[in-house]
Structure 1
Amino acid sequence: MQNTYVLILLSLLVACTKEKNTDLTLSTRPVKVVKVGTLSTIDRTYTGTVEAEEFSILAFKVAGTLTSLPVEEGQIIPKNYVIARIDPIDYRLKYQTAESNYETAKSIYERTERLLQQNATAVQNLEIARADYIRATSALNIAKRTFGYTQLLAPFRGLVEKKYVENFQQVQVGEAIVRLVNPDKLNVRFILPETAISVMQIPKTIYVQFDTYPGRWFQADIKEYIYSSDGSGIPVTLRITDPDFKPFQKEVYPGFSAKVLLKIENTISDNFIIPASALLFENNRYYIWLVNPEQMTVQRHPVKVLFFEDKALIKKGLYPNDIIVTAGVADLKDGQKVMIQHPNNNL
């Protein structure tokens, strides 16, 4: 009989404990919330660099010693400007020799041709003279072209972005002398963190700002980006598309720093941006807690998510004016009563 009383007492204690735990679990819980549709935009700013879309690394086609290098980095030069010269003496002598040989071969050929017309020489002699004349003409053209290679000319109007050599230095064929860029066709390049790669899939507006025009933003779009495997981020190249940029372009050059602003609006084609802290991940799915403002209870609701750093883009599962919990989501239960604390409508 005593054992029976003990068992009854233990059962009552367990039942009371369960009831107490249940009451604690479903007790009213204070929560922070936001209302869908009143969330702010995602603005992310990065530092970029102005780059030329067109460039050329210029080099000599002949070897020699530099005798002139009258350009400096950052200098804008016109088309056909003489960027550098190498000592032309040897090449001038070869040109003069070829020119002399050409004049001699030409004279012999013309004289032999006249003699043949007078039947004073054989056809074979004319053929020999003609062959010598052709070889001399070819050698003169080569010598003239080679002599011209002792000057390095700008192939287009451009900015000297980098000098690779100094004056009076011995240079070889194909050795880089300067890097010339086209200042009229500019891009902006920046590194996007790997944690923000999903932004490439989100509709957005992109702006760039240059140090020469602080406070002035110009619209741009993505020209290309490359996935990086070394963890250093994702190089993104932007093309400036703003028609208002053209009058300001003359004061923006390759190498200048720039600010890049990515602006993602809060509602884009029924997509909504929420804090990542509002998400609950269970059973390989993401959920949010919807607040019923009349009953002041919460209900778990599945959503389709695209992450962007500390924010999340909800592509499916939310509607305007939905109220969602943003903190303590792991401790809530379906149907649990909540008390809203300090509503926050700004991310």
Structure 2
Amino acid sequence: MRAMRVHQLDGTLQLDEVEAPQPGTGEVAIAVAACGVNFADTLMVHGKYQEKPELPFAPGMEICGTIEAVGEGVKHLKKGMRVAALCGNGGFAEVAVAPAASCVPVPDNMPDAHVAAFLIAYGTSHVGLNYRARLKEGENLLVLGAAGGVGLTAVEIGKLMGANVIACARGAAKLEAAKEAGADHLLDSESADIREAVKALGGADVVYDPVGGAQFEAALRACNPEARLLPLGFASGDIPQIPANILLVKNLTVHGFYWGAYSRFKPQVLVESFQQLFTWYLEGKLKPHVSHEVPLERATEALELLTTRKATGKVVVTI
């Protein structure tokens, strides 16, 4: 099979011909149709992600495809089933192996690119806002990086949950994407004073932050009493340090949030989340935004679209 693999942790990928992987106990092999690209992939190819696969490896954490082989002990999945799956890495290839427990059957009328763009982005936002932050109807939700892969889904889901959504993104085009996703208020991160602008809109009750750095610090100071903050990534490259005295004075709560960990210690949270998300999709309430579909042999470009912040919504590698 063909696979785009990393041989050195310098961000470059190479198209290789390799043996197709075989599923082990509790696993399935999937003929990949499309693979969602995530910011975590851009870190993994430089050895900067918390999970470090052995070289050489293919990036790609979430896939859509058809099961072509089933490992020992797998009873609920069959060859020929079309599924979404979380594989950790290996998705930039014609065949990938994934834990059977991570596979979710998907609606027949859901396009491959939508499926590949769905699990991590929508799952992260739904579990973060619903399960961790307990977002309530009528609250002010501040979404930083609101035009990114997870940011747009946070805007969509926040509106579905009844929040007043303040979207912060860079430039008119990205703010327009956030507006189309349902944002009530738009802030340009390049020119706005985030702290003062959010306070003028009534302050933040929940902060959804995949960006970190100065934007997190400004958002922290724009929080209302008893606000909840969700740091879920540091796309700015700057991990903020949180002054405990501000948490004390305002009775704030910071929820550490690594969505992928739930597959290991509390998978039922993800199962229930996916059930709700697919219901919303079939009802037409969620509209995945895929800004770029890139063929496998150009997968390096897909990563660059994220690192250069040229993408809105999701980037998908097609096989």
Larger radius of gyration: 1
Q: TM-score range by the shorter chain?
A: under 0.3
Q: TM-score, normalised by structure 2?
A: 0.21
TM-score (norm 1): 0.19
The structure in which a higher percent of residues are strand is 1
